[in-house]
Chains A and B, each alone.
Chain A
Amino acid sequence: MNRFDVLIPIADDELILGWRNSEWTGIAPFLEEDVAFSSIAQNEIGHARALYQLVAEELGTTADDLAFDRKPEEYRCSAFVELRFVPDWAKTIARHYLYEQADERRIRALMESDDTEVAGLAAKIDREEAYHRMHAQMWFDRLQDEPRFVEAVDELRPLVDERGEHTPEFTELWDEMTSVRRSIAGATW
Protein backbone atom coordinates (compact mmCIF):
# COMPACT_ATOMS: atom_id res chain seq x y z
CA MET A 1 0.00 0.00 0.00
CA ASN A 2 1.12 3.50 -0.78
CA ARG A 3 0.73 5.16 2.58
CA PHE A 4 0.80 8.67 1.16
CA ASP A 5 -2.08 8.19 -1.26
CA VAL A 6 -4.24 6.25 1.17
CA LEU A 7 -3.57 8.06 4.43
CA ILE A 8 -3.05 11.69 3.44
CA PRO A 9 -6.68 12.34 2.37
CA ILE A 10 -7.87 10.89 5.69
CA ALA A 11 -5.29 12.76 7.75
CA ASP A 12 -6.08 16.02 5.94
CA ASP A 13 -9.81 15.54 6.57
CA GLU A 14 -9.17 14.91 10.26
CA LEU A 15 -6.84 17.90 10.60
CA ILE A 16 -9.13 20.33 8.82
CA LEU A 17 -12.34 19.11 10.45
CA GLY A 18 -10.60 19.18 13.84
CA TRP A 19 -9.59 22.74 13.07
CA ARG A 20 -13.12 23.74 12.03
CA ASN A 21 -14.71 22.08 15.07
CA SER A 22 -12.22 23.77 17.37
CA GLU A 23 -13.64 27.10 16.21
CA TRP A 24 -16.51 26.33 18.60
CA THR A 25 -14.25 26.35 21.65
CA GLY A 26 -15.57 28.97 24.03
CA ILE A 27 -18.72 29.72 22.00
CA ALA A 28 -20.59 26.39 21.80
CA PRO A 29 -24.34 26.48 22.65
CA PHE A 30 -23.68 25.46 26.25
CA LEU A 31 -20.73 24.79 28.47
CA GLU A 32 -20.76 20.98 28.67
CA GLU A 33 -21.02 20.77 24.90
CA ASP A 34 -18.17 23.25 24.57
CA VAL A 35 -15.95 20.89 26.54
CA ALA A 36 -17.21 17.84 24.62
CA PHE A 37 -16.96 19.30 21.15
CA SER A 38 -13.53 20.79 21.81
CA SER A 39 -12.38 17.40 23.01
CA ILE A 40 -13.67 15.74 19.83
CA ALA A 41 -11.87 18.38 17.77
CA GLN A 42 -8.66 17.68 19.63
CA ASN A 43 -9.06 13.93 19.10
CA GLU A 44 -9.44 14.46 15.34
CA ILE A 45 -6.24 16.49 15.22
CA GLY A 46 -4.58 13.73 17.26
CA HIS A 47 -5.70 11.15 14.69
CA ALA A 48 -4.32 13.35 11.91
CA ARG A 49 -0.99 13.58 13.74
CA ALA A 50 -0.73 9.80 14.11
CA LEU A 51 -1.58 9.22 10.44
CA TYR A 52 0.90 11.87 9.25
CA GLN A 53 3.49 10.16 11.43
CA LEU A 54 3.06 6.84 9.60
CA VAL A 55 3.40 8.56 6.23
CA ALA A 56 6.36 10.61 7.45
CA GLU A 57 8.25 7.46 8.49
CA GLU A 58 7.94 6.15 4.96
CA LEU A 59 8.97 9.43 3.33
CA GLY A 60 11.75 10.30 5.80
CA THR A 61 10.07 13.53 6.85
CA THR A 62 8.08 14.63 9.92
CA ALA A 63 4.38 14.85 10.80
CA ASP A 64 4.73 18.62 11.22
CA ASP A 65 6.17 19.01 7.74
CA LEU A 66 3.23 17.13 6.30
CA ALA A 67 0.66 19.00 8.35
CA PHE A 68 1.95 22.53 7.90
CA ASP A 69 4.56 22.79 5.15
CA ARG A 70 2.52 21.89 2.08
CA LYS A 71 1.00 24.41 -0.28
CA PRO A 72 -2.80 24.75 -0.12
CA GLU A 73 -3.26 22.95 -3.44
CA GLU A 74 -1.31 19.95 -2.11
CA TYR A 75 -3.86 19.19 0.62
CA ARG A 76 -6.22 16.33 -0.20
CA CYS A 77 -9.10 17.08 2.16
CA SER A 78 -12.68 17.24 0.91
CA ALA A 79 -14.55 20.51 0.45
CA PHE A 80 -17.03 19.07 2.96
CA VAL A 81 -14.65 19.54 5.91
CA GLU A 82 -13.39 22.91 4.70
CA LEU A 83 -16.66 24.81 5.01
CA ARG A 84 -16.88 27.25 7.88
CA PHE A 85 -20.16 26.92 9.76
CA VAL A 86 -19.74 28.98 12.95
CA PRO A 87 -22.24 30.15 14.27
CA ASP A 88 -24.58 27.60 12.61
CA TRP A 89 -24.88 24.74 15.08
CA ALA A 90 -27.43 22.80 12.96
CA LYS A 91 -25.02 22.60 10.03
CA THR A 92 -22.10 21.81 12.33
CA ILE A 93 -23.93 18.86 13.85
CA ALA A 94 -25.22 17.73 10.43
CA ARG A 95 -21.63 17.62 9.17
CA HIS A 96 -20.41 15.92 12.34
CA TYR A 97 -23.07 13.22 11.92
CA LEU A 98 -22.46 12.64 8.19
CA TYR A 99 -18.69 12.72 8.62
CA GLU A 100 -18.66 10.17 11.43
CA GLN A 101 -20.72 7.76 9.31
CA ALA A 102 -18.41 8.08 6.30
CA ASP A 103 -15.30 8.00 8.47
CA GLU A 104 -16.42 4.76 10.12
CA ARG A 105 -16.47 2.94 6.78
CA ARG A 106 -13.04 4.31 5.87
CA ILE A 107 -11.41 3.45 9.20
CA ARG A 108 -12.96 -0.05 9.22
CA ALA A 109 -11.42 -0.65 5.78
CA LEU A 110 -8.02 0.49 7.08
CA MET A 111 -8.29 -1.98 9.95
CA GLU A 112 -8.14 -4.74 7.31
CA SER A 113 -4.96 -3.32 5.77
CA ASP A 114 -1.95 -5.60 5.13
CA ASP A 115 0.23 -2.83 6.53
CA THR A 116 0.09 -3.94 10.16
CA GLU A 117 1.12 -0.55 11.53
CA VAL A 118 -1.70 1.09 9.62
CA ALA A 119 -4.21 -1.59 10.68
CA GLY A 120 -3.11 -1.19 14.32
CA LEU A 121 -3.48 2.57 14.26
CA ALA A 122 -6.87 2.30 12.55
CA ALA A 123 -8.10 0.02 15.34
CA LYS A 124 -6.93 2.53 17.94
CA ILE A 125 -8.58 5.41 16.11
CA ASP A 126 -11.79 3.41 15.76
CA ARG A 127 -12.00 2.87 19.52
CA GLU A 128 -11.97 6.63 20.02
CA GLU A 129 -14.26 7.31 17.07
CA ALA A 130 -16.86 5.02 18.66
CA TYR A 131 -17.45 7.79 21.23
CA HIS A 132 -17.63 10.43 18.52
CA ARG A 133 -20.26 8.34 16.75
CA MET A 134 -22.23 8.02 19.99
CA HIS A 135 -22.06 11.77 20.41
CA ALA A 136 -23.15 12.42 16.81
CA GLN A 137 -26.01 9.92 17.10
CA MET A 138 -27.22 11.51 20.33
CA TRP A 139 -27.43 14.89 18.64
CA PHE A 140 -29.04 13.36 15.56
CA ASP A 141 -31.75 11.73 17.68
CA ARG A 142 -32.37 15.01 19.42
CA LEU A 143 -32.50 17.22 16.33
CA GLN A 144 -33.95 14.87 13.70
CA ASP A 145 -37.35 16.57 13.72
CA GLU A 146 -35.96 20.09 13.61
CA PRO A 147 -36.52 21.53 10.12
CA ARG A 148 -33.26 23.50 10.22
CA PHE A 149 -31.31 20.34 10.98
CA VAL A 150 -33.10 18.21 8.38
CA GLU A 151 -32.40 20.88 5.78
CA ALA A 152 -28.73 20.99 6.74
CA VAL A 153 -28.37 17.20 6.47
CA ASP A 154 -30.03 17.17 3.03
CA GLU A 155 -27.87 20.03 1.85
CA LEU A 156 -24.59 18.51 3.05
CA ARG A 157 -25.10 14.83 2.29
CA PRO A 158 -24.08 15.06 -1.40
CA LEU A 159 -20.84 16.83 -0.46
CA VAL A 160 -19.41 14.15 1.83
CA ASP A 161 -16.98 12.57 -0.61
CA GLU A 162 -16.45 15.42 -2.98
CA ARG A 163 -12.76 15.91 -3.57
CA GLY A 164 -11.63 18.46 -6.10
CA GLU A 165 -11.10 22.18 -6.01
CA HIS A 166 -10.52 23.67 -2.61
CA THR A 167 -13.01 26.22 -1.35
CA PRO A 168 -11.97 29.86 -0.79
CA GLU A 169 -12.62 29.21 2.92
CA PHE A 170 -9.85 26.63 2.87
CA THR A 171 -7.26 29.12 1.67
CA GLU A 172 -8.17 31.39 4.57
CA LEU A 173 -7.93 28.50 7.00
CA TRP A 174 -4.56 27.41 5.59
CA ASP A 175 -3.26 30.94 5.85
CA GLU A 176 -4.09 31.11 9.54
CA MET A 177 -3.19 27.50 10.34
CA THR A 178 0.33 27.78 8.93
CA SER A 179 1.02 31.40 9.87
CA VAL A 180 3.08 30.70 12.99
CA ARG A 181 5.01 27.97 11.25
CA ARG A 182 5.75 30.25 8.31
CA SER A 183 6.65 33.26 10.49
CA ILE A 184 10.19 31.94 11.05
CA ALA A 185 10.96 29.45 8.34
CA GLY A 186 12.98 26.44 9.49
CA ALA A 187 12.69 27.31 13.19
CA THR A 188 12.54 24.50 15.70
CA TRP A 189 10.05 25.00 18.50
Chain B
Amino acid sequence: MVWEVFRQERKGQAFAHAGSVEAPDAEFADWYAREEFGRRGESVALWIVPREAVHEIHEFVDELERNYHRVDGYPLKEKLKEARERALSAKSAAHFPREELEAPTQ
Protein backbone atom coordinates (compact mmCIF):
# COMPACT_ATOMS: atom_id res chain seq x y z
CA MET B 1 0.00 0.00 0.00
CA VAL B 2 1.32 3.40 -0.99
CA TRP B 3 1.09 6.49 1.21
CA GLU B 4 1.73 10.01 0.00
CA VAL B 5 3.78 12.15 2.34
CA PHE B 6 3.51 15.92 2.64
CA ARG B 7 5.91 17.86 4.76
CA GLN B 8 5.93 21.25 6.40
CA GLU B 9 9.34 22.83 6.51
CA ARG B 10 8.56 25.59 9.01
CA LYS B 11 5.62 26.28 11.25
CA GLY B 12 2.91 28.23 9.43
CA GLN B 13 4.15 27.23 5.99
CA ALA B 14 2.05 25.29 3.52
CA PHE B 15 2.59 21.52 3.37
CA ALA B 16 4.26 20.39 0.16
CA HIS B 17 4.40 16.94 -1.39
CA ALA B 18 7.62 15.26 -0.31
CA GLY B 19 7.32 11.79 -1.81
CA SER B 20 5.73 8.49 -0.91
CA VAL B 21 6.34 5.41 1.22
CA GLU B 22 5.16 1.85 0.85
CA ALA B 23 3.81 0.38 4.09
CA PRO B 24 1.32 -2.31 5.15
CA ASP B 25 -0.67 -0.04 7.48
CA ALA B 26 -0.92 3.49 8.87
CA GLU B 27 1.37 2.80 11.80
CA PHE B 28 4.19 1.51 9.59
CA ALA B 29 3.57 4.37 7.18
CA ASP B 30 4.06 6.90 10.00
CA TRP B 31 7.28 5.25 11.09
CA TYR B 32 8.75 5.03 7.61
CA ALA B 33 7.69 8.59 6.75
CA ARG B 34 9.31 9.91 9.93
CA GLU B 35 12.46 8.01 9.04
CA GLU B 36 12.62 9.17 5.44
CA PHE B 37 11.30 12.73 5.65
CA GLY B 38 11.72 13.90 9.22
CA ARG B 39 14.71 12.61 11.05
CA ARG B 40 17.22 15.12 9.69
CA GLY B 41 15.32 18.12 11.00
CA GLU B 42 13.99 18.92 7.52
CA SER B 43 10.33 18.97 8.60
CA VAL B 44 8.31 20.25 11.56
CA ALA B 45 5.26 18.17 10.62
CA LEU B 46 4.16 15.53 8.13
CA TRP B 47 0.84 14.55 6.57
CA ILE B 48 0.64 10.89 5.62
CA VAL B 49 -2.25 10.10 3.31
CA PRO B 50 -3.26 6.82 1.65
CA ARG B 51 -2.81 7.28 -2.09
CA GLU B 52 -6.43 6.15 -2.72
CA ALA B 53 -7.62 9.13 -0.67
CA VAL B 54 -6.09 11.52 -3.15
CA HIS B 55 -8.43 12.62 -5.95
CA GLU B 56 -6.82 13.65 -9.17
CA ILE B 57 -8.47 15.60 -11.98
CA HIS B 58 -7.10 16.67 -15.33
CA GLU B 59 -10.00 18.23 -17.26
CA PHE B 60 -10.65 21.92 -16.94
CA VAL B 61 -13.43 22.66 -19.43
CA ASP B 62 -13.60 26.10 -21.02
CA GLU B 63 -15.95 25.64 -24.00
CA LEU B 64 -16.56 29.35 -24.54
CA GLU B 65 -12.88 30.23 -24.40
CA ARG B 66 -13.39 32.87 -21.79
CA ASN B 67 -9.69 33.44 -21.60
CA TYR B 68 -10.13 36.40 -19.27
CA HIS B 69 -10.56 33.70 -16.59
CA ARG B 70 -7.04 32.55 -17.13
CA VAL B 71 -3.80 34.07 -16.10
CA ASP B 72 -2.56 33.81 -19.66
CA GLY B 73 -5.57 35.86 -20.78
CA TYR B 74 -3.58 38.97 -20.03
CA PRO B 75 -0.42 39.81 -21.98
CA LEU B 76 1.27 40.54 -18.67
CA LYS B 77 4.73 39.79 -19.94
CA GLU B 78 4.54 42.47 -22.63
CA LYS B 79 3.07 45.02 -20.24
CA LEU B 80 5.78 44.35 -17.69
CA LYS B 81 8.48 44.78 -20.32
CA GLU B 82 7.02 48.12 -21.40
CA ALA B 83 6.76 49.29 -17.80
CA ARG B 84 10.33 48.31 -17.13
CA GLU B 85 11.55 50.22 -20.18
CA ARG B 86 9.58 53.32 -19.15
CA ALA B 87 11.07 53.14 -15.66
CA LEU B 88 14.55 52.74 -17.06
CA SER B 89 14.35 55.73 -19.40
CA ALA B 90 12.89 57.90 -16.63
CA LYS B 91 15.84 56.92 -14.46
CA SER B 92 18.48 57.76 -17.08
CA ALA B 93 16.75 61.08 -17.78
CA ALA B 94 17.11 61.88 -14.09
CA HIS B 95 20.83 61.12 -14.25
CA PHE B 96 21.37 63.47 -17.14
CA PRO B 97 19.67 66.85 -16.58
CA ARG B 98 18.30 68.42 -19.74
CA GLU B 99 20.89 71.30 -19.82
CA GLU B 100 23.73 68.86 -19.76
CA LEU B 101 22.28 66.76 -22.55
CA GLU B 102 21.61 69.82 -24.70
CA ALA B 103 24.94 71.52 -24.07
CA PRO B 104 27.06 71.60 -27.25
CA THR B 105 30.15 69.43 -27.15
CA GLN B 106 33.39 71.24 -27.56
Contacts and interface: CB of A to CB of B under 8 A. Distances in A.
Interface of A: 30-33, 35-36, 39, 131, 134-135, 138, 142
Contacts of A131: 31, 34
Contacts of B82: none
B100 interface: no
A35 B21 CA distance: 11
A134 B32 contact: no
Contact of B28 (A35, A39, A138): A138
Given A35-B36, A39-B39, A135 B31 contact: yes
B58 to A, nearest CB: 29
B35 A31 contact: no
B22 A36 contact: no
A32 B21 contact: yes
Contacts of A31: 22
B23 interface: yes
A35 B35 contact: yes
Interface range for B: 10 to 19
Given A35-B36, A39-B39, A138 B31 contact: yes
Given A134-B31, A138-B31, A32 B39 contact: no
Interface string B2-44: 0000000000000000000111110110011011100100000
Given A31-B22, A32-B21, A138 B27 contact: yes
Contacts of A138: 27-28, 31
A36 B39 CA distance: 11
A137 to B, nearest CB: 9
A188 B32 CA distance: 37
14 contacts: A30-B22, A32-B22, A32-B23, A32-B32, A32-B36, A35-B32, A36-B31, A36-B32, A131-B31, A131-B34, A135-B31, A138-B27, A138-B31, A142-B25
A35 to B, nearest CB: 6
A28 B29 CA distance: 17
Contacts of A33: 32
A77 B73 CA distance: 72
